[in-house]
Amino acid sequence: MVDFKAIRDEFPILDQEIHGHPLVYLDSAATSQKPNAVIDAEANFYRTINAGVHRGAHELAARSTVAFEEARAKVAKLVGANAAEGEEEIVVTGGATAGLNLLATAFGNASLGRGGEAAKRFALKPGDEIVVSRAEHHSVLLPFQELAYRTGAKFKWIDLTEDGRVRTDNLDEVITERTKVVAVTHVGNTTGAITNVGPIIKRAHEVGAVFILDACQSVPHLKVDFHALDVDFAAWSAHKMYGPTGVGFLYGKRELLEALPPANFGGSMVELAYMDHEAQYMAPPARFEAGTQPVAQVVAAGVAAEWMMNIGMENIEAHEKTLSAELLKLGDIDGIRILGPRENVNRIGTVAFDVKGVHPHDVGQFIDAQGIAIRVGHHCAQPVHRHFGLYASNRASSGVYNSVADAHALVEAAKGIRPFFGAE
Shortest Cβ distance from residue 240 to ligand PLP (Å)? Answer: 7
185 binds ligand PLP (CB under 6 A): yes
Shortest Cβ distance from residue 66 to ligand PLP (Å)? Answer: 27
Tell which one of 45, 49, 95, 252 touches ligand PLP (CB under 6 A): 95
115 binds ligand PLP (CB under 6 A): no
Toward ligand PLP, which CB reaches closer, 134 or 329?
Answer: 134
Which 18-57 positions form the footprint of ligand PLP (CB under 6 A)?
A: 29
What is the 3-class SS of the chain, one letter each residue? Answer: CCCHHHHHCCCHHHCCEECCEECEECECCCCCCCCHHHHHHHHHHHHHCCCCCCCCCCHHHHHHHHHHHHHHHHHHHHCCCCCCCCCCCEEEECCHHHHHHHHHHHHHHHHCCCCCHHHHHHCCCCCCEEEEECCCCHHHHHHHHHHHHHHCCEEEEECECCCCCECCCCHHHHCCCCEEEEEEECECCCCCEECCHHHHHHHHHHCCCEEEEECCCCCCCCCCCHHHHCCCEEEEEHHHCCCCCCCEEEEECHHHHHHCCCCCCCCCCEEECCCCCCCEECCCCHHHCCCCCCHHHHHHHHHHHHHHHHHCHHHHHHHHHHHHHHHHHHHHCCCEEECCCCCCCCECCEEEEEECCCCHHHHHHHHHCCCEECEEECCCCHHHHHHCCCCCEEEEECCCCCCHHHHHHHHHHHCCHHHHHCCC
Are 344 and 167 in contact, with CB atoms under 8 Å apart? no
Toward ligand PLP, which CB reaches closer, 29 or 358?
Answer: 29
217 binds ligand PLP (CB under 6 A): yes
Toward ligand PLP, which CB reaches closer, 141 or 259?
Answer: 141
Rounded-to-integer distance, Cα 65 and Cα 420, Å:
56
Buried residues in 271-294 as b, exposed as e (16+ CB within 10 A): eeeeeeeeeebbebbbbbbbeebb
Which 318-377 positions form the footprint of ligand PLP (CB under 6 A)?
A: none
Tell which one of 189, 195, 393, 398 touches ligand PLP (CB under 6 A): 189
- Catalytic residue, chosen from 380, 392, 404, 423, is 380
**Best CA proximity match to 309, nearest among 241, 373, 388:** 241
Shortest Cβ distance from residue 281 to ligand PLP (Å)? Answer: 25
Q: Which stretch binds ligand PLP (CB under 6 A): 59-67, 93-101, 104-112, 382-390?
A: 93-101
Binding mask 135-154 for ligand PLP (x = CB under 6 A): --x-x---------------
- How many residues contact ligand PLP, by CB under 6 A? 13
214 binds ligand PLP (CB under 6 A): yes
Toward ligand PLP, which CB reaches closer, 34 or 137?
Answer: 137
Tell which one of 237, 293, 393, 397 touches ligand PLP (CB under 6 A): 237
Tell which one of 32, 64, 65, 97 touches ligand PLP (CB under 6 A): 97
Annotation marks residue 216 as catalytic: no
Q: Which stretch binds ligand PLP (CB under 6 A): 40-48, 91-99, 116-124, 326-334?
A: 91-99
Toward ligand PLP, which CB reaches closer, 115 or 340?
Answer: 340
397 binds ligand PLP (CB under 6 A): no
Rounded-to-integer distance, Cα 348 and Cα 218, Å:
9
Toward ligand PLP, which CB reaches closer, 65 or 218?
Answer: 218
Toward ligand PLP, which CB reaches closer, 329 or 379?
Answer: 379
Shortest Cβ distance from residue 238 to ligand PLP (Å)? Answer: 8
Shortest Cβ distance from residue 415 to ligand PLP (Å)? Answer: 28
Toward ligand PLP, which CB reaches closer, 196 or 310?
Answer: 196
Shortest Cβ distance from residue 146 to ligand PLP (Å)? Answer: 16
Rounded-to-integer distance, Cα 91 and Cα 368, Å:
38
- Mind telling me the catalytic residues? 380
Q: Which residues bind ligand PLP (CB under 6 A)?
A: 29, 95-97, 137, 139, 185, 189, 214, 216-217, 237, 380
